[in-house]
Amino acid sequence: MRIPIVAANWKMHKTIPEARAYLKRLIELAGQDPGVEVVVIPSFTALPAAAALLAPTPLGLGAQDARPESAGAYTGAVSVAQVADLGVRYVLCGHSERRKLFGEDDALVGRKVRATLHHGLAPILCVGETLDERKGGRAWAVVERQLGEALASVGDPDGLVIAYEPVWAIGTGVAAQPPAAQAMAARIRGWLRKRFGSRGEAIRIQYGGSVRPDNAREFLSLPDVDGALVGGASLDPDAFWAIVRAARG
Point out the residues that are catalytic: 95, 165
Q: Which of 111, 110, 189, 186 is nearest to 145 (CA)?
A: 110
Determine contact, residues 142/135, Cβ cutoff 8 Å.
Answer: no
Q: Give how many residues touch ligand PEP by CB under 6 A.
A: 14
| DSSP result, 162-230 | EEE--GGGTTTS-PPPHHHHHHHHHHHHHHHHHHHTHHHHT-EEEEESS--TTTHHHHHTSTT--EEEE
Contact positions with ligand PEP (CB under 6 A) in 214-233: 229-233
Site for ligand PEP contains 159 (CB under 6 A):
no
Q: Distance (Å, rounded) from C-alpha 150 to C-alpha 36?
A: 27
Least separation in angstroms between residue 212's CB and ligand PEP is 8
The angle formed by the CA atoms of residues 108, 129 and 206, to the nearest 5 degrees, is 80
Q: Choose the binding region for ligand PEP from 143-151, 152-160, 185-193, 206-214 (rule: CB under 6 A).
A: 206-214
Please identify which residue in 37, 191, 210, 244 interacts with ligand PEP, judged by CB under 6 A. 210
Least separation in angstroms between residue 106's CB and ligand PEP is 18
Site for ligand PEP contains 128 (CB under 6 A):
no
Please identify which residue in 4, 68, 123, 208 interacts with ligand PEP, judged by CB under 6 A. 208
Q: Which of 39, 85, 100 is nearest to 64 (CA)?
A: 39
Beta-bridge partners for 164: 127, 207
Least separation in angstroms between residue 92's CB and ligand PEP is 8
Please identify which residue in 35, 171, 178, 200 interacts with ligand PEP, judged by CB under 6 A. 171
Q: From residue 115, how far is each of 65, 83, 128, 143, 208 by CA, in Å?
A: 12, 12, 22, 21, 24
Helices (H), ranges, 86-138:
96-101, 106-118, 131-135
Site for ligand PEP contains 211 (CB under 6 A):
yes
Of 127 and 196, the one with the shorter C-beta distance to ligand PEP is: 127
Q: Distance (Å, rounded) from C-alpha 86 to C-alpha 174?
A: 35
Of 157 and 227, the one with the shorter C-beta distance to ligand PEP is: 227
Q: Choose the binding region for ligand PEP from 19-27, 51-59, 63-71, 205-213 (rule: CB under 6 A).
A: 205-213
Q: Choose the binding region for ligand PEP from 21-29, 46-54, 115-123, 209-217 (rule: CB under 6 A).
A: 209-217
Of 11 and 195, the one with the shorter C-beta distance to ligand PEP is: 11
- Which residues contact ligand PEP (rule: CB under 6 A)? 9, 11, 165, 170-171, 208-211, 229-233
